[in-house]
Amino acid sequence: MIKLSHIKKIYETPSGPLQALKDVSLTIEDGDIYGIIGLSGAGKSTLVRCINMLERPTSGTVEIDGHDLTKMNNRQLREIRKNIGMIFQQFNLLSSATVYENVAFPLKLSGTDNKIIEKKVTSLLQLVGLQPKAGQYPSQLSGGQKQRVGIARALASNPAILLCDEATSALDPQTTQSILKLIRRINEQLHLTVVIITHEMQVIKDICNKVAVIDHGVIAETGSVIKVFTEPQEAITREFISVLLSDELPSAFRNQPISPTPIEAGYLLLRLTFIGENADEPVIMRLIKEHPGIDVSILFGDLDQIQMIPYGRMIIGIKGPQAAVTAASKWLEQQDLKAEVIGYVKRHNDAVD
């Protein structure tokens, strides 16, 4: 377990002290893939570097399995760092060493026997799918391959924790997917605790089980990914999510004024969110059956998965006699799903069906 308590980090800069982290507390359980998301300059890198003490917090404690790293001397820190692998956005491979030598590097540092090194490096290269590249230099590899070498190197000393600082930010979307898959496989096979720093909600959604949103050196929100996705509490979180979830209305409704009260010839718009089991329920069908007086139009729909849990979103418009519309809206709110009233909107006059 990684436990950060009341971490503060102040950088002394020419223009005065800069508070990069302001009282950050986080608990990361064993086996978590814990995402930390924030905008540029939010303090993500500073935070993750506090976990292995590449950056010493100005105050607060960093505990790993109950041992406080802030109280350790350099020698103890070097020992514990062997238990914490780290990968970087810029890969940080030795350009003068081959793939094999890069992966062997941590083992060489701890004076491991060459025979054992060879076995270990071979199996790691196999794990990351780079065996044929053993003799090549990093400059001969693609970005994705370089990060695989970075991962193999980080795993060489059998760490229990893997820190990833923007590990996929320099990669294209497809390569990002393959690296994330590899990280998840490692998390499952080797029971590694993974901490992922990113500014992309997609990465969090694809691989993390828990997430912390950091904003200007403060943790704005934490929780399970599905919870934070479906019930974001903070504006900054909603902003990150909105990048992923386009819920654009059809052009006939776009840019129309939204009224909280019924309007003449208006549609009542509702945003429905289905999570897990209820994603399969035929709610719309029942809505129409039980409320014969109304028209229901589906304006937007999207089905996705977060953490293998089906997650559907829909925007519907209801039109009809006011009493029936209100009843339908009430009925929806009683169902096993999240129904959120957006408001009453008119179609564009010039819009055609």
Partner 1 sequence: MSSDIMMLLIKSLGQTLYMVIISMLIASALGIPLGILLVTTAKEQILQCTTFNRILAGIINAVRSIPFIILMVAIIPFTRLVVGTSIGTTAAMVPLTIAAIPFIARQVENSIKEVPYGLIEAALSLGATPAQIIRHVLLPEALSSIISQLTTVIIGLIGASAMAGTIGGGGIGDLAIRYGYQRFRPDIMLITVIILIILVQLVQFIGNYIAFRLNKK
Ligand X SMILES: Nc1ncnc2c1ncn2[C@@H]1O[C@H](COP(=O)(O)OP(=O)(O)OP(=O)(O)O)[C@@H](O)[C@H]1O
User: Which residues here bind ligand X, judged by CB under 6 A?
Assistant: 11, 13, 18, 20, 38, 40-46, 199
Using CB distances below 5 to 8 A depending on partner kind, what does residue 86 bind out of Mg ion, partner 1, ligand X, none?
Answer: partner 1
- Give the nearer residue to ligand X in terms of CB position, either 45 or 168: 45
Compute the least distance from the CB of residue 316 to partner 1, in Å: 51
Q: Using an 8 Å Cβ cutoff, are 211 and 228 in contact?
A: yes
- Give the nearer residue to partner 1 in terms of CB position, either 6 or 78: 78
**What's the length of the chain?**
353
Residues in contact with 334: Cβ distance below 8 Å, sequence separation at least 6, in sequence order: none
Residue nearest to Mg ion (CB): 45
Measured CA to CA, the distance from residue 204 to residue 210 in angstroms comes to: 8
- Give the nearer residue to partner 1 in terms of CB position, either 97 or 258: 97
Compute the least distance from the CB of residue 42 to partner 1, in Å: 20
18-57 residues near Mg ion, rule: CB under 5 A: 45
- Give the nearer residue to partner 1 in terms of CB position, either 36 or 149: 149
Using CB distances below 5 to 8 A depending on partner kind, what does residue 43 bind out of Mg ion, partner 1, ligand X, none?
Answer: ligand X
User: DSSP label at 259?
Assistant: B
Kind of pairing, strands 33-38 and 193-198? parallel
**Exposed / middle / buried, residue 114 (Cβ in 10 Å: 0-12, 13-18, 19+):** exposed
Measured CA to CA, the distance from residue 91 to residue 97 in angstroms comes to: 14
Compute the least distance from the CB of residue 166 to Mg ion, in Å: 6
Compute the least distance from the CB of residue 181 to Mg ion, in Å: 23
Q: Quick one: tokens of 176?
A: 């990002």
User: Binding partner 1 by CB under 8 A: which of 3, 8, 22, 81?
Assistant: 81
Compute the least distance from the CB of residue 38 to Mg ion, in Å: 9
Interaction of residue 153 with partner 1, rule CB under 8 A: yes
Measured CA to CA, the distance from residue 233 to residue 215 in angstroms comes to: 14
Q: Quick one: tokens of 85?
A: 């692998």
- 247, amino acid identity: D
- Binding-site ranges for Mg ion (CB under 5 A): 45
